[in-house]
Structures are given as C-alpha cells and as structure tokens.
Amino acid sequence: MGSAATMAMTVLCFTKSNKLTSTFRTLPRLTCSSLSNSPFKFNISFSPSNPKPKPDPKPEPENDDDGPLMIPWIVRGEDGNFKLSSEPPPSFLKDMAIAKTGTKKSDKIQTTKIKKKTEKETKVHAVAQPQYSKAARRFYNENFKDSGGERLSKVLAASGVASRRSCEELIFEGKVTVNGSVCNTPQTKVDPSKDIIYVNGSRLPKRQPHKVYFALNKPKGYICSSGEKESKSVISLFDDYLSRWDKKHAGVPPPRLFTVGRLDVATTGLLIVTNDGDFAQKLSHPSSNFSKEYIATVDGLVHKRHLMAISEGTTIEGVHCVPDSVELLPNMPNAQRARLRIVVHDGRKHEVRELVKSAGLEIYSLKRVRIGGFRLPPDLGLGKYIELNPTNLKALGGKVNKVDS
C-alpha cells in the first residue's frame, strides 16, 4: 500500500425542523505495519473475542386503543350499497368449503345420475329375455314348454274313469296310452283336447265335464262311498241327475261325483258332493279350520255336569279334542228327548259321538246342520239336494270360475 490515505465523509442529518445540514469530519490517519521487514507499518486493532452482548431492544408498546386487528370486507348490504364488514360474505365461505373438500355440488349430482343410470341399465339387461328366432320359439313350444295341462291321473278321474287312486293303478299297470305311447307316470301333464288318451282300449273324450257342487240332506242308512258294489251309497241319490246329463251335455262324459268328507251311516244332515278334487281337499283339510255344527238328540236327562264334561273334551286316536261350544237347546213341543248343539272343528272320526259318550250320555240321533258359513236349508227334505251357487260356495270358502253348462 502507498502512503496513508486521508478520507472524508459527509453525513447528512435531518433535524426536527426538517432542515438539512452538512458537517464534515476528518478521520484520523491509519498506520499499518507488517511482520516482515517491509517499510510499510500498519497499526490494526481487533475487537475482543468475547464482546459483551448488546441488550435486546425493548419492544415498542402496542397501541390497543384501536382494538384487535380487523380485516375489512367490502360487501353489498340489503339496501344494495357497499359497506365494510368484519365477516366475509357467505358466497366466499361456500367457495372455500368446496375448494377444501375438492367436490362440487354439480359434480356430485352428475355422479349420482351416472350411478343410477348404470344400475337401471344393468337391471334392464338382467330382466330382459333373450331374443330367439320364430323357428326356435316354435320348436321350444312344441317340445319343451309346459302346455298348462293337468296331471294324467286327475284327468282320468275327472272323466269318470275311476277314483284317482284307481286311475293311478291303471297307469302303473300300463293300461293307459298317451299319443300312442304307454304312460306309466301319473304326474304326466296332458291336455285332453290335444292329446290322444286311451284307457283299456277306449278313447277318452276330448271334452271334460265342468265342475259341479251340491248340498245333500243325507238320510240315515246311506254310506259316503262311491264304490259300485255299495248298494246304498249317497252317490246313488244322484242317479236321476246323471241320467239327464247326456241330454244337456252331448259328447261330454258325466262327472264322477264324490263326497267332501264323510258322515257315518247313522248320521244325517248336510253333506257336500262334487267332482272338484281341489275344492274337496281345501274344504276337508284340517288346515281350513272350518267349524261344523251338529244337533245331537240324547236319551235321559242332561245336567250341568254333562255339559261340563263335554266341554272339557276327550281323547280320540291319541289326540285330545275339545269342542268349540256346547249348548242345551230348549225342549220342543211333543219332544221327549233333550237336544244338544255341539260345534267342532277338528273333524275326527265319530268326534261328536265320542264327546257325548265320554260325558255319560247316549246319542239317539245325530244331524249335521252347518259347515263353515253354509247352513242346511230347513226345507230340504231327506235324500234331496240342491246345486250350490257362487254365494253358497263363498260361504264354504270355495271359489270357482265361470263355466259353460
């Protein structure tokens, strides 16, 4: 370095009166010396290694006169003019919420619509039937589709061939042919109007008799059997009806009639006769729970203990049967015997007779007067019958379709 240099600095200061003044100050001469034998000498001083820390500047006191810091929002008021508000507008908060979740309402609605559309298309594709050619549908209908016919044994029984059990035996013995082939299965579905059916070499008529329903006032001494060997079957009381059948229904075989349930040979009263097996099954099955009312004429005097004993029931075939009601009817003029009105629903064999017998009484005569909601007409004589109309069948819990007579 050359000789010592002299520097000058001009410091500008602003006074409280904002007047600009200038002052010149001359810095002292600096002398530097080196360790070598250089002719130049420098005098350099360093600050101490551990200088005293300077105290932190005191924080300026906060001025709380104006309250907390407030960010003003310019919003439009109800009067339509702009004003300052301390709260952001609702639209801004809504946009911030949407931006935070990352889902817009329109996108959510669109997603829901697409999902519903996809589910609907899937359901339609699952339900829609496959399309086949006319030839394929015709082949299926002729060879595989159920024609809606009835069981072979049922058709034979309805045509008057024999009882259903006897018809099943004929089928098992190979005495029935369908369309030229021997059929050994009673459950085979057939349609007499389309299929050619032979029984023991005789052609079964194409037309089937319509369903018929009768209410019979059964007399004493007749049994509820449709066998040909029985001389006094209740079915024989319909001989006059069957003899007139051909005149009214030409070409149609007469119906094979049978009784719904049974009354013993000594019991009289209401008995249903029909050729409708389904109706008979429904009416006679225990699950139908139809009540049956009987009038029992007994020998001897009836006391309260007898009524109590009958109402407590008795065991029949291992089942304890209890009647629905027991009532002692008023004495009739010129009647020497007491009458009991007994209502049951189990339908066990000789149920009413066993109930009266268990009470220590003896039945002189027994008559059934009601089944379900149908009561035996009082003017219907013994051995007479009437054909039931739809109202009567409804009272019995039955329902039939309209047929051509």
Which residues does the annotation mark as catalytic? Answer: 264
3-state helix, strand, coil in the chain (%, to 5): 30, 25, 50
Any idea which residue has 């508000």 for tokens? 85
How many whole angstroms separate alpha carbon 38 and alpha carbon 17? 53
How many whole angstroms separate alpha carbon 192 and alpha carbon 292? 38
Which token pair is 24? 């010149």
Provide the pairing of β-strand 267-274 with 362-371.
parallel
Which token pair is 77? 């008021």
3 state DSSP class of 283: helix
Using alpha carbons, select from 361, 156, 186, 397 the residue that is nearest to residue 287.
397
How many whole angstroms separate alpha carbon 223 and alpha carbon 230? 8
How many whole angstroms separate alpha carbon 23 and alpha carbon 14? 12
Q: Strand locations in 165-260, DSSP E?
A: 176-178, 181-182, 189-190, 197-199, 202-203, 213-218, 258-260
How many whole angstroms separate alpha carbon 350 and alpha carbon 277? 24
How many whole angstroms separate alpha carbon 277 and alpha carbon 165? 12
Q: What is the DSSP letter of 386?
A: E
Residue 219, by phi and psi: left (phi above 0), alpha (psi -120 to 50) or beta?
A: beta
